[in-house]
Amino acid sequence: MERMQQVVWRARAAFNSGRSRALEFRMQQLKALKQMLQEKEKDILAAIRADLHKSEPNAYCHEILGLLGELALVMDKLKSWAAPQPVKKNLLTMRDEAYIFPEPLGVVLIIGAWNYPFALVIQPLIGAIAAGNAVVVKPSEISWNTSQLLADLLPQYLDQELYPVVTGGVSETTELLTQRFDHILYTGNSTVGKIVMAAAAKYLTPVTLELGGKSPCYIDTDCDLAVACRRITWGKYMNCGQTCIAPDYILCNPSIQSSVVENIKAALQEFYGEDVKSSPDYERVVNKHHFRRILGLMEGQTIAHGGEVDEASCFIAPTILTDVSPESKVMEEEIFGPVLPIVTVDNVDEAIEFINRREKPLALYVFSNSKKLIKRVISETSSGGVTGNDVIMHYLLSTLPFGGVGNSGMGAYHGKHSFETFSHHRSCLIKDLKMESTNKLRYPPGSMKKVNWAKFFLLKRFNRGRVGLVALVLLGIVAALVLK
């Protein structure tokens, strides 16, 4: 406990020194992060490979490329994001200065996840640094190699007092959560998300929870199945299915179920060849615990394709399950692995009803030649995000906030949304000490004459041009004389 207190205390003392607030300092730290990504690329890729059996091209695309894009965007826009934002004024405040000032929250805790162990730490860290905060970084202990690398690299490139790294498992995270933070961002499952939120409640600490859930994928009968299934196959089996916004299950009409299976099989052949196990592009389940958990979900199901496993290497072949019952075990929890159940529904109405009976997912996917149908599904369901006629791609657009809703999380980040998540939007109004007579409207004693003038000033829409300003001055003089 004392160690965690010291870590957080040092971070808070560093934040209170004020050095993280300066834009020049923030930019310097962001540039240092970019330098780290470039200079230590090989080390980063090696750690990710050791944790997830991921090839260098895949690891670079999944974990580094997006961060470089995020850094470029943030460094380009930070000055404008951090500037005071003027707001519209009413007649009573027309002469005053009114603006929103983004200020740092303070000391932030970022708890990363193991499935993308580097990116899911560094991406929110970029936003927190940009907003001027101190940040305590807690990588996932499950991705041990990447966790140790982060603990080694970040102090070499960033301010060690402002951005400490804490490694360890459940006990260390539990101790961290007893400390007071000004914001907590957690990526993981809803069970731990509830623990994080309960701990944060002690200090009324705001949280961003990036959780998961069973993200549905509806395929309409009016659809190019070859294209749809290729895109679904890519998103589902990437990272061995260990992606929080991967399609968790397919909903489709029984008449196209066999065609969906055949098209997915063709895409798997295209992506991974005859021997999936030897493909450099196919990852492994992170550990034996999750390997056995996924096998348990497959018990009693009809395997239309795949099903081969090797516990020694935590290999599970890309698997398709057909005619899956909505009440089966595999439909009760997020799969987070390379197993794709197909549940049949008669039409889009039944698909919408099916989705709405369950917890709100982190993502929702619809494939159809009809954009009207896609927008209907969007309007009649709820999810963290939606992509029509593709999967996962909404995550890659930095102008879209990434986050969940309900059981799949709360809050959002990416791009400017990260800066806003880690900032307090402070309301500022600066007046002068002149024209005091106009303030008699709000001073006792009250009267209906004052109420009528107040209604005019507060409710009247007024031209802000030169004529409007002249009229405003005249009205102020009139009001002052009348109220005397």
DSSP string, 200-265: HHTTT--EEEE-----EEEE-SSS-HHHHHHHHHHHHHGGGG--TTS--EEEE-GGGHHHHHHHHH
* Helix, strand or coil, per DSSP, at residue 185: strand
Of 63, 161, 210, 283, which residue is the catalytic one? 210
Of 217, 240, 244, 252, which residue is the catalytic one? 244
Q: Is 244 marked active-site?
A: yes
For residue 360, give the DSSP letter: P
For residue 361, give the DSSP letter: P
Per-residue pLDDT of the chain (484 residues), as tens digits, is 589 999 999 999 999 999 999 999 999 999 999 999 999 999 999 999 999 999 999 999 999 999 999 999 999 999 999 999 999 998 888 889 999 999 999 999 999 999 999 999 999 999 999 999 999 999 999 999 999 999 999 999 999 999 999 999 999 999 999 999 999 999 999 999 999 999 999 999 999 999 999 999 999 999 999 999 999 999 999 999 999 999 999 999 999 999 999 999 999 999 999 999 999 999 999 999 999 999 999 999 999 999 999 999 999 999 999 999 999 999 999 999 999 999 999 999 999 999 999 999 999 999 999 999 999 999 999 999 999 999 999 999 999 999 999 999 999 999 999 999 999 999 999 999 988 887 888 889 988 888 888 888 778 765 555 555 555 555 655 555 555 5
Give pTM, 2 decimals.
0.93
Q: Which helix (H) or strand (E) holds 363?
A: strand 363-367
SS3 content of the chain, % helix, strand, coil (to 5): 50, 15, 35
Q: Is 353 marked active-site?
A: no
Question: What pLDDT was estimated at residue 333?
Answer: 94
Q: Are 195 and 173 in contact, with CB atoms under 8 Å apart?
A: no
